[in-house]
Amino acid sequence: MALFGRKSSPASDVQAPAATAVDPELAALSGTYVLDPAHTEIGFSVRHAMVTNVRGHFGEHEGTLVIDGADPANSTALIEVSMASVDTGAPDRDGHLRTGDFFDVENFPTMTFRSTHAEERGGDAYRITGDLTIKGVSRPLAIDLEFNGSATDPFGNQRIGFEGTAELLRSDWGLTYNAALETGGVLVGDKVKLVFDISAIRQAPAA
């Protein structure tokens, strides 16, 4: 199902292409959805000491998806993450990440992603581009998503689901703290891999 965009058939040499009809299954998904924090994960991994990866996630986040079935390219996403909720399974490391060396959560408590463009990549694959803001620095980020479908849960909630990945260089957002290793290289890699596993619940239209 083309969630964020539909490809029209090629035009013939003598006729203009007919308007593409709206997919009724897609139209039925139109509405506003909020992330279900109990079933949504926003995680990351980064190279440590040049030889292994540290993985973690953010335990507190919220977000809104607006699906436009009549014009899917106008669908939008807004996600806000509490940086103090970082969890790598090591309290001392998490405490360091909250300091000015990294996230500086006292002055910049929130990381935000606001979409600016959506496109179909074929099948259930999509790419959402937007502005990611960390420590007051906003830069574009592309997130590759797979649409996992929609369903009504046992409590009557209509859900949609996505899995997604993205890569960034933390130095582009001013996260430059590091330490040199005696054997060469640095303690913390620059490349960060982001992982998204999203479940969102449709909201009732305003009265």
**Could you please report the per-residue DSSP string of 1-35?**
--SS--PPPPPPSSSPPPPPPPPHHHHTT-EEEEE
Number of H helices, E strands in the chain: 2, 11
DSSP state of 49: T
3-state helix, strand, coil in the chain (%, to 5): 10, 50, 40
Tell me what pLDDT residue 13 has: 47
- Can you say whether residue 89 is alpha, beta or left, with left for phi > 0 and alpha for psi between -120 and 50 degrees? left
Residue of 93, 81, 77, 94 whose CA lies nearest to 34:
77
Task: Catalogue the E-assigned strands of 123-176.
Answer: 125-134, 137-152, 158-169
Tell me what pLDDT residue 136 has: 96
Tell me what pLDDT residue 2 has: 52
Supply 59's token pair. 């335990």
Tell me what pLDDT residue 194 has: 98
Pairing outcome for strands 76-82 and 86-87 = unpaired
CA dihedral 52→60→144→132, nearest 10 degrees, is: -100
Tell me what pLDDT residue 120 has: 80
User: What does the pLDDT look like over 78-124, one tens digit per residue?
Assistant: 999 999 999 999 999 999 999 999 999 999 999 999 999 998 888 88
pLDDT < 70 stretches in the chain: 1-23, 26, 69-70, 72, 206-207
